[in-house]
Amino acid sequence: MIARRLVHTSVLMGSVALILSACNEADQSFDPAQQIGADPVLPEPSSSLIPDLKVAEVVGWKDGETPTVPEGLKVTLYQKDLANPRTVHTLPNGDVLVVQSRGPKGQSPSRPKDIIRGWIMAISHGETRPQKESNLITLLRDTNRDGTVDERHDLLTKLDSPFGVAFADNTLYVATASEILAYPYQLGQNDITAEPKLLTPLPGGPINHHWTKDLALSPDGKFLYASVGSNSNIVENGMEAEKNRAAILQVDRQTGAFKLFASGLRNPNGLAFNPESKELWAVINERDELGPNLVPDYMTSVKENGFYGWPWSYYGNHVDARVYPPRPDIVATAIKPDYALSSHVAALGLTFTLNSAMPAAYANGAFIGEHGSWNRNAFNGYRVTYVPFENGKPSGKTQDVVTGFIQGDNARGRPVGVGIDGTGALLVADDAGNSVWRVAAADGTVTPAPIATDDVSGGGAQAMAAPAN
């Protein structure tokens, strides 16, 4: 059955490639770097019967292969043999949680294009081969803080497509495809057997187009912020299907009551509070089918009650004429994002570096995991980039930090979530490579104590960082 599906998929992709080969030649000269920063170049929209397409086949990493990092950094394999790792999260004691998941099953496509999209996504995620059981959370423990995992334990299994986690007051919060669950948990436990409490339901099926739900804990510990992506590209399933979607919800951690915190965000992920400004930030995947160079994905601070355009407009007040009826009154209120990342990079991870042990060149900024494009005629993304910050805002161009995921037309892996481990090094969840990579200062610098993902107190660990013995 798998072989037959591969043959059918190969024939389909070959046919699509032949059709596309004669199209969009002018787009090949467009430099995606023009779309990085506060004021991206936005070409005129374009459309075609068959959207732009270039899919990287996942081949995995051979023994001894690693991504590439700049001088001054060292990359090592932190953990292998995982099952679609999506996000990483460091607990106060330095233990690292790796959330592994695949999307909910049994969703019917709402339009013919969704069938093709499903095949494409299966190829781009490496899911055309036999797969290990996923939808679990694994704990990795580095007992002596030398950057090597000494213990591995499956903390929770058989979850409903988990993605975001947060920890506070001996409680582990897990955002699944349809709810936030609260599990009693003491630091140091190797498994969780207690039944969870349902904190709040989240928008889910029967259609759950963007199923990844991320979480962030507010600096004062009172609220959880949950990201909920849209249920379509541009409202093909009707506005009722978008209730409380394309949004970030603010959830009371005690009662579970939630409110719409910000809206018009097509597919927000990578929720993180900036340790310097204490503002909530996120990375956003923008809409498709306006051409290979629209619309730029972006990172932005998220304002309370802010509206960011979807579906009526993009990047501020640029109207999407496909959405009917038009709403110029709503478009007039749309907030322009802080920083564009260029089109279709599929940014899914974001972490700030202020309290890390990274070298001075990465001391105050944000790492971004770019999962990589499939809906362009040339690859974009497939890397971890760094954006320097100053006074709580982006202050320069992105820098490629972790590369080598794409090789020709093949993907050895695809970065998703990023985070800082218990020693102050960068961790990168690689869902297609089924691995987590660790990127550390080449001189062995570590923080004097673990800094939890949920801790944005700005304790100054960077200034105190010292070389390891």
**pLDDT tens, residue by residue, 1-60:** 433 343 344 434 444 443 344 344 445 689 999 999 999 999 999 877 666 788 999 999
pLDDT in tens, 196-218: 999 999 999 888 999 999 999 99
Does the structure show a pLDDT above 60 at 167?
Answer: yes
- In this structure, what is the dihedral angle of CA atoms 427, 431, 433, 438, given to the nearest 10 degrees? 0
> Which spans in 87-178 are helix H?
112-124
Tell me the pLDDT band of 136, cut-offs 50, 70 and 90: very high
User: Would you say residue 422 has pLDDT above 80?
Assistant: yes
What's the predicted TM-score (pTM) here?
0.90
Give the pLDDT of residue 185.
Answer: 98
CA gap 11, 105 in Å, rounded: 25
Give 149-158 pLDDT, tens digit per residue: 999 999 999 9
Helices within 332-456 (DSSP H only): none
Dihedral sign computed on CA atoms, order 19, 23, 25, 31: negative
| pLDDT for the residue 217 | 98
**Residue pLDDT, tens place only, 65-117:** 999 999 999 999 999 999 999 999 999 999 999 999 999 986 555 555 555 55
Mode of pairing for the β-strands spanning 347-352 and 406-407: unpaired
What does the pLDDT read at residue 53? 84
Predicted pLDDT of residue 21: 40
Given this model, what pLDDT does residue 23 score? 43
Q: What is the pLDDT of residue 108?
A: 57
Question: In the chain, what are the helix, strand and coil shares in percent, each to the nearest 5?
Answer: 10, 35, 55
pLDDT classification of 457: cutoffs 50, 70, 90: confident
Whether residue 463 is predicted with pLDDT greater than 80 in this model: the reply is no
Q: What is the mean pLDDT of residues 328-344?
A: 98
CA distance 369 to 372: 9
Residue 232 to residue 225: CA distance in whole angstroms: 22
> What's the mean per-residue pLDDT of the chain?
90
CATH homologous superfamily of 53-441 equals TolB, C-terminal domain (2.120.10.30)
What pLDDT does 415 receive? Answer: 98
At 468, is the pLDDT very low, low, confident or very high (cuts 50, 70, 90)?
Answer: very low
pLDDT of res. 20:
41
Q: Output the pLDDT for position 131.
A: 77
Residue 306 pLDDT exceeds 90: yes
The mean pLDDT value for 289-301 works out to 96
| pLDDT at residue 269 greater than cutoff 50 | yes
The three-point CA angle 385-387-388 to 5° equals 140
Cα–Cα distance list, 280 to 25, 160, 215, 273, 300 (Å): 40, 26, 11, 4, 9
Using the predicted structure, report yes or no on whether residue 292 has a pLDDT greater than 70.
yes
Pair 151, 137: CB distance under 8 Å: no
| Residue whose tokens read 């304790």 | 459
